[in-house]
Amino acid sequence: MINPHGSETLKPLLVAKRVEQDALTKEAESLPSLLLNSAAAANAVMLGGGYFTPLGGYMNLGDALSVAEHMQTADGLFWPVPILNLTNDIAAIEDATRIALRDPNVAGHPVIAVMDVDNIEQISEEQLETMISKTFGTLDDAHPGVKDFRSLGNYCVSGPIQVLNLSYFETEFAGTFRTAVQIRKEIAGLGWNKVVAFQTRNPMHLAHEELCRIAKERLNADGIVIHMLLGRLKAGDIPADVRDAAIRKMVEVYFPPNTAMVNGYGFDMLYAGPREALLHAVFRQNMGATHLIVGRDHAGVGDYYGPFDAQAIFEELPEGALELEIFAADHTAWSKKLNKVVMMREAPDHQPEDYVIVSGTRVREMLTQGIAPPPEISRREVAEILMEYYQSDAAA
């Protein structure tokens, strides 16, 4: 199986033994505490599950700036996005060397991790601008990732952590949420060696389904991991439980047994385009995938990135930065000429009218009206789940 990133073994920071969990939980009651923001809590979950191997905790300001500017930590580890614990309020922890980190996303704010504080550093406006511009490629506050990053705080609290639990993901998505440790174990149990990962924050329409098949066949892969983001999204995105149900139904009906697994990870979407595509590659390597499908506008939002910027950035990486490889995909759509889904760059004789293309806005309108999109766009079983959601009060 492919090695984890920067390590021969996976390094999950979740405290697995119950006796150690109990001791840390008891200790945390007497420690100064910091209420995390959602981004820092998501980082704790990813560190806990081994997805961010080989990191041992939150980055200090020097590492964060080095990652932003050069895509490597101060000691030379390739890493594409700063992994931070930012806050505006350090009053309760400024003299502490060990603190309890509290979960903002669970009622009562239970302790999610215990942290040894190495540094508390104030971030200058210039340093903040550097991290934002390099990570997101823009300083525009209309970008949801930029807007969120600016709100996180101007103090960087860094140091190693011991994770006590994996937040609400373990309970709300018990059948879907998996750590990198668990996915590696499942891949090994299936005897898969070449594994394709598909990233999604949306339900999968027919074109996505066929893209997974195309990648699996061309790479001669043993299986596909459809790996969905379960954390916080921007307003208007479809909730994780609805996506989960739709994707599971598609796999259940249309994929042969033991060729595709469906699971998810606990992280908040950054919408950072190319840099986030690299982060996706890092933690997919950690979970055991050998390839990641990177398609048109991967992890993008609006028109901040070119359609294939997320593929091009992989060409800029130094030799050996990643073991995982990408499957570079074009926009996919149903061809009226060929009566199947194709990647558009592979159909040079086609004109726009030769494809069945329905805008996302129009698809949402149809679903809201209880009209199933054409079968060239969406499987009926998937459409029924989405129609129920769009016609519910939750989508209003």
Q: Is the pLDDT of residue 338 over 70?
A: yes
Q: Which of 98, 201, 213, 364 is catalytic?
A: 201
pLDDT tier for residue 322 given thresholds of 50, 70 and 90: very high
pLDDT tens for 265-310 read: 999 999 999 999 999 999 999 999 999 999 999 999 999 999 999 9
Q: Is the pLDDT of residue 245 over 90?
A: yes
Q: Is the pLDDT of residue 4 over 90?
A: yes
- Tell me, what's the pLDDT at 132? 98
Q: Which amino acid is at 27?
A: E
pLDDT tens for 26-61 read: 999 999 999 999 999 999 999 999 999 999 999 999
**Distance between CA 317 and CA 313 in Å, rounded?**
7
**Distance between CA 224 and CA 56 in Å, rounded?**
29
**Distance between CA 51 and CA 319 in Å, rounded?**
22
Reply yes or no on whether 202 is catalytic. Answer: yes
The structural domains of the chain, with segments of one domain joined by +, span 18-170, 173-395
Q: Which of 202, 213, 296, 364 is catalytic?
A: 202
Q: Phi/psi zone of residue 254: left (φ > 0), alpha (ψ -120 to 50 degrees), beta?
A: alpha
Secondary structure (DSSP) of 29-45:
TTS-EEE--HHHHHHHH
Counting every residue written for the chain, the total comes to 396
Rounded to 5 degrees, what are φ and ψ at 106? -125, 135
Question: Which residues lie closer than 8 Å to 70 by C-beta, 6 or more apart?
Answer: none
pLDDT tier for residue 6 given thresholds of 50, 70 and 90: very high
pLDDT tens for 63-74 read: 999 999 999 999
- Tell me, what's the pLDDT at 240? 86
364-392 burial: b if 16+ Cβ within 10 Å, else e: bebbeeeebbeebbbbeebbbbbbebbee
Q: Is the pLDDT of residue 395 over 70?
A: no
pLDDT tier for residue 218 given thresholds of 50, 70 and 90: very high
Which CATH class name applies to 173-395? alpha beta
Question: Which residues lie closer than 8 Å to 260 by C-beta, 6 or more apart?
Answer: 212, 223, 224, 225, 226, 251
Average pLDDT, the chain: 95
Reply yes or no on whether 263 is catalytic. Answer: no
pLDDT tens for 172-187 read: 999 999 999 999 999 9
- Tell me, what's the pLDDT at 193? 97
**Strand order in 340-343's β-sheet?**
340-343, 332-335, 355-356
**Distance between CA 119 and CA 97 in Å, rounded?**
9
The CATH code for residues 18-170 is 3.10.400.10
- Tell me, what's the pLDDT at 396? 58
pLDDT tier for residue 238 given thresholds of 50, 70 and 90: confident
Domains 18-170 and 173-395 alike in fold: no
Q: Is the pLDDT of residue 241 over 80?
A: yes
User: Taking residues 204-216, what's their average pLDDT?
Assistant: 95
pLDDT tier for residue 239 given thresholds of 50, 70 and 90: confident
Question: Which residues lie closer than 8 Å to 59 by C-beta, 6 or more apart?
Answer: 67, 73, 82, 83, 84, 156, 158
pLDDT tier for residue 393 given thresholds of 50, 70 and 90: low
Q: What angle do CA 119, 122, 127 make, to 5 degrees?
A: 115
Q: Could you give the 3-state DSSP secondary structure of residue 27?
A: helix
pLDDT tens for 342-386 read: 999 999 999 999 999 988 889 989 999 999 999 999 999 999 999
Q: Is the pLDDT of residue 249 over 80?
A: yes
pLDDT tens for 101-141 read: 999 999 999 999 999 999 999 999 999 999 999 999 999 99
pLDDT tier for residue 394 given thresholds of 50, 70 and 90: low
